[in-house]
Structure 1
Amino acid sequence: MTNKKAMSPVEWTHLVLGVAIVFGSIVRFLPGLMAGFPLNDGGMFLSMIRDLADSRYALPEFTSYNQLQIPFAYPPFGFYVARLLSDLLNIPELDLLRWLPPLVNSLSILAFYLLASELLKSKLLSVLASAFYALTPGAFGWFVMGGGLTRSFGSLFLLLAVFSVLRLFQTGQGKFVGLAALFCGLTVLSHPEAGVHTAATCFLVWLFFGRTVKSFVNAVIVGVGVVLVTSPWWGTILAYHGLAPFLSALSSGSYGIPVWRALTGMILGRESYIPILAVLRLIGLGWGIWKKEYFLVTWAVVPYLVEPRSAPSVVFYPFCMLIALAFAEAIPFFASRLRKIPVATGELYKSKTCNALLFLVLIYLFVESGLYGFRLVNNSLKPAEVEAMTWIKENTPEGASFLILTGVKSPEIDPFIEWFPALVERRSLSTVQGYEWLGPGRFMGYYSDLAALQGCELMGCVEDWLVRTGLDHQYVVVHSAQVDDGLSKAFAESGSYRRIYNEGKIEIYESVTP
């Protein structure tokens, strides 16, 4: 009987990377497949994609979303890709918002592998990091939603930009000047916060790997290239609106949580019932400091200093690499010290114990990611909600304004509120999306106002809110699934409103006040 030949390092890395790509793609595509509609958000982006059709691909001055004259200042790369695919392949815009985000985010697994290979200088470590990147429950959530159309492109190009800049500083080759300028520019054109994080990370790369005159000159050339690549967008916005939309967007971030608390929350985050990743992150962070992996450790902190709101999605990259170091180096090292048996970390692929442990961990993370996907499905529009919106579009005046009560105090996780203006093409007084471009402080101020509105349990509270904000409306939509029963009953019994629709826990009232 012949012994089975052991896998070579190349075969092992190909196997683990293949598992990461295949199973990582499955958990990204499955929620959209089950939901039958783009997950969570993306309503404003649907309007912007359709606006490009109306403008024949010219950058519009305003978006039609919510009839608020919102400047069309959002980085438009994803919208143009979706518009082009819809026109060339005759794919409905809603289907593109459903499938493009998970597709692009699945491609990010390969981009992450390229970057990890350069930073960790080990195929074994880089495929391990990629597997954890692909299968961490919840880490892909915001990128596979409808609004992930821009976030997923931003993430993909951020990884490719940092990889290109790192290779440029390491080799000095001219081709990486062009690639770095291209990918940095595409990041800026894809997502505003991704552009900020890319600039900060590339500066960090220069500090650790490129402090030479030649690297500085190359960095300046890349910067000029980024300005040129992005100039058609920002030049048009400046011509339309000046700096106002950009200054407004800069004031809409969330900076209220101390860095140490946000970072601690990320490290100890419970993505799964068994805190495997939290333990590995702690071990990896300590090991990284001990082994002087200062770039990864610093990169895990800097995003919270630069742009705290989206920092968790960026620090996830260095932490996946630190997790790989914990799994492949730190744990075997301490195990060997306890057992007094030397372990060659570069040959862990030969260890049946390590392979079995890795297999169990990845299977567990895959299952947890699948369960997380079910939670995403629950946060998408249901057929009854779409039917109600269709009815409103067909049976109410085009210029009508709607007050929508859902009971959800966080607008960013309320799909009904966000999709309403796009699908109904009417004004929603309860929608905050787009306010980040309307003036400094308006987004956070209206966000607080809407949280107060959705917390109302009495009709008097709603009326006081309308008086305080000075907003006028012709219709009220009550989504009774989460709204207090007493509030729904108050509208039904009020002489100031007439119920005109009542299906699937959605009630629509027309104001009849003289």
Structure 2
Amino acid sequence: MADQLAAFDLYHLAVAMGILLGVFVRAQYTLGADFPLNDGGLFYQMTQEIQLAGYALPAFTHYNQAGIPFAYPPFGFYLAAIVDQLSPMTLMDVFRFLPLVATSLTLLAFFFLARDVLRTKLVVVVAVFSFALVPRSFIWLLMGGGVTRSLGLLFAVLALHQVFLMYTTGRWRYAATTTLWAVLTVLSHLQTGSFLAFSCLLFFTAYGLHRRGVFTSVAVGAGTLLFTAPWWGTLIARHGVAPFVAANATGGSIFSDSTLRAYLIESVLRLGTTSEPLFPLIATLAFMGVLASVTTRRFLLPGWWVAIILLDARAFPTFSTVPVAMLAGVGLADVVLPVVMRPLRGGTWGTDDATADEEHLFEGIAVSRLLRSWAPVVLGVFLWYATNGALLRAGETPALVALSPSERQTMEWVRTSTGPSSRFLIITSESWPTDKTSEWFPVLSDRVSVATVQGYEWVADGAFATRQNDYALAQNCALVDADCIREWSKLTGLSFDYLFIPKPDYGVCCVRLILSLRNDAQFALVYDGPGGIVFRAGSSSQK
């Protein structure tokens, strides 16, 4: 009894350490800035508009003065607005900390799912550490825009845990809890709702091919449609299905077109991406887990990983971290550790008694044997390397930065020193998803940014693709000169009154362009501060 209690305590202590380490890693990024990380400007204004409307759902958002349909799933906005109203936090603070709280809770939700799906405690522990430390499990969720994205993944993982219990126990109460989490997923993030839908289908094929499984699946689907109807029904009544069609076109899957199909197949062959900045240790362990799973005829996790890549071109790196972390647990516990412990255990690992032995790894004698092998070194290297990778500012983690105070001060100068109808072209040399300046500028300056992409996902008639192209062409001018800016205006048909080039803390782009603008009679320097430089455009520089 004492040995069993010690094993229980060691297991839960290890899980708690993994979760706390994940919270620590995530908090390092959030607490390292005094402003929401990267994006969130569009969602911030939409939340304010809900508050101004007395918590009624607006028909349009006036972000960037564009009159975009207010089609985004609104749960995160309402939650942020309520927290802002009921707590001493400002709305900006909510956009900083709500994503951190949600991503931290997702670690716990992942543990619940892994605990029931995976076979052994050691695999679960390694999976928890892997999910805590794989960068893609938090990069896009910690940002200001994570107010919706982080909630979506949290609710989706909770829903999948209930789906597993629903199919494996046959109890109707799990159909009710599955429906609850599925509804919250859809109302938080539509793309994550799609991920949840096809993931549920895979779980159904693995665990639910029985009469009760069919009935509960139908009930969950019907309940989710019913309880999300007030939102999507209102949206369709106002705008038709066009916003949904437009949003769906911004993603894509293996069924979209031949070019995207080739890219996704190549992504499968490359094992997707975990955004690990150095050697992809967790992804490599996951591949070992795939081999171990396939040879033992456990196809769910490998099939799930492949399905996520093929069915969600835009967000598969984030969603795939769930099966990847579980497979990494399998790879380290079932493939690597048996090799380093084989001499000690006399070659018994991997026999028919392997499962029984592995279940006892957290009991006294098994732990003592573990400590007399190379296993602690292997586990220590894994933990050290993965933690350093999660904290290293390389790969995609440099996107986890916020607008500096000086950049925000420049936008305040724009708000107070330029006309309300002024239009700005912003040059940052960034790609649009990580261009925090272009997204926050319309909110903080109350001026139009003529090339900002955010929000156009919900606009019909190919507006999103057009906006992406206009933005990319503008950023191509970052390394050229003033003539490039004039040609861009003529080509796109977009006019502007001012050109704004930010000066982020990590370095100024566009040195050649700035020198050219300074020496061009058609552009007048009107502001040059630590946060950015602003030129007024003359009439002859316009289209």
TM-score tier, shorter chain, comes to over 0.9
Counterpart residue number, 1:452: 473
Deviation beyond 6 Å, 4+ runs, structure 1: none
Counterpart residue number, 2:113: 115
Residue-by-residue CA offset, 1:455-513 (whole Å, 9 max, x unaligned): 11121111111112111212111236544323212322333232221101611122342
- 175, 178, 188: which one aligns with 2:176: 178
Structure 1 residues 410-421: aligned runs within 5 Å: 410-421=431-442
Q: CA deviation at 1:399?
A: 2.2
Q: Is 295-304 or 278-287 further displaced after alignment?
A: 278-287
Whole-Å separation in 2 of the counterparts to 1:404 and 1:490: 16
1:303 aligns with 2:308: yes
Counterpart residue number, 1:23: 21
Is the 1:420–1:428 contact (alpha carbons within 8 Å) kept by the matching residues of 2? Answer: yes
Is the 1:125–1:325 contact (alpha carbons within 8 Å) kept by the matching residues of 2? Answer: yes
Q: Letter of the 1:341 partner, please give it.
A: G
Q: Is 360-369 or 498-507 further displaced after alignment?
A: 360-369
Q: CA deviation at 1:376?
A: 3.7
1:342 aligns with 2:363: no
Is the 1:405–1:430 contact (alpha carbons within 8 Å) kept by the matching residues of 2? Answer: no
Counterpart residue number, 2:267: 262
Q: Letter of the 2:34 partner, please give it.
A: G
Counterpart residue number, 1:486: 512
Q: CA deviation at 1:321?
A: 1.0
Q: Is 488-497 or 168-177 further displaced after alignment?
A: 488-497
Q: Letter of the 1:490 partner, please give it.
A: S
Whole-Å separation in 1 of the counterparts to 2:273 and 2:65: 42
Q: CA deviation at 1:137?
A: 3.3
Whole-Å separation in 1 of the counterparts to 2:406 and 2:278: 33
Whole-Å separation in 2 of the counterparts to 1:88 and 1:152: 21
1:87 aligns with 2:113: no
Is the 2:134–2:321 contact (alpha carbons within 8 Å) kept by the matching residues of 1? Answer: no
Counterpart residue number, 2:354: none
Structure 1 residues 60-459: aligned runs within 5 Å: 60-253=58-251, 256=260, 258-266=263-271, 271-335=276-340, 340-343=346-349, 344-349=357-362, 350=367, 351-352=370-371, 353=373, 354-372=375-393, 375-376=397-398, 379-408=401-430, 410-456=431-477, 457-459=480-482
Q: CA deviation at 1:48?
A: 0.7
**Structure 1: runs of 5 or more not aligned:** none
Q: CA deviation at 1:392?
A: 0.8
Whole-Å separation in 2 of the counterparts to 1:30 and 1:17: 20
Q: Letter of the 1:427 partner, please give it.
A: V
Whole-Å separation in 1 of the counterparts to 2:338 and 2:428: 53
**Structure 2: runs of 5 or more not aligned:** 254-259, 350-356
Whole-Å separation in 2 of the counterparts to 1:501 and 1:490: 16
Whole-Å separation in 1 of the counterparts to 2:244 and 2:447: 26
Structure 1 residues 420 and 503: CA distance shift in structure 2, 3 A: same
Whole-Å separation in 1 of the counterparts to 2:341 and 2:136: 33
TM-score (norm 2): 0.89
For residue 58 of structure 1, give the secondary structure of its aligned residue in structure 2: coil
Q: Is 275-284 or 168-177 further displaced after alignment?
A: 275-284
Q: CA deviation at 1:238?
A: 0.9
Counterpart residue number, 1:44: 42
Whole-Å separation in 2 of the counterparts to 1:75 and 1:234: 9
Q: Letter of the 2:210 partner, please give it.
A: T
Counterpart residue number, 1:495: 521
For residue 534 of structure 2, give the secondary structure of its aligned residue in structure 1: strand
Whole-Å separation in 1 of the counterparts to 2:93 and 2:271: 32
Q: CA deviation at 1:405?
A: 1.2
Q: Letter of the 2:53 partner, please give it.
A: S
Q: CA deviation at 1:197?
A: 0.5
Q: CA deviation at 1:381?
A: 0.7
Is the 2:518–2:524 contact (alpha carbons within 8 Å) kept by the matching residues of 1? Answer: yes
Is the 1:21–1:109 contact (alpha carbons within 8 Å) kept by the matching residues of 2? Answer: yes
For residue 397 of structure 1, give the secondary structure of its aligned residue in structure 2: coil
Q: CA deviation at 1:217?
A: 1.4
Is the 1:478–1:506 contact (alpha carbons within 8 Å) kept by the matching residues of 2? Answer: yes
Q: Letter of the 2:414 partner, please give it.
A: I
Aligned residues: 510
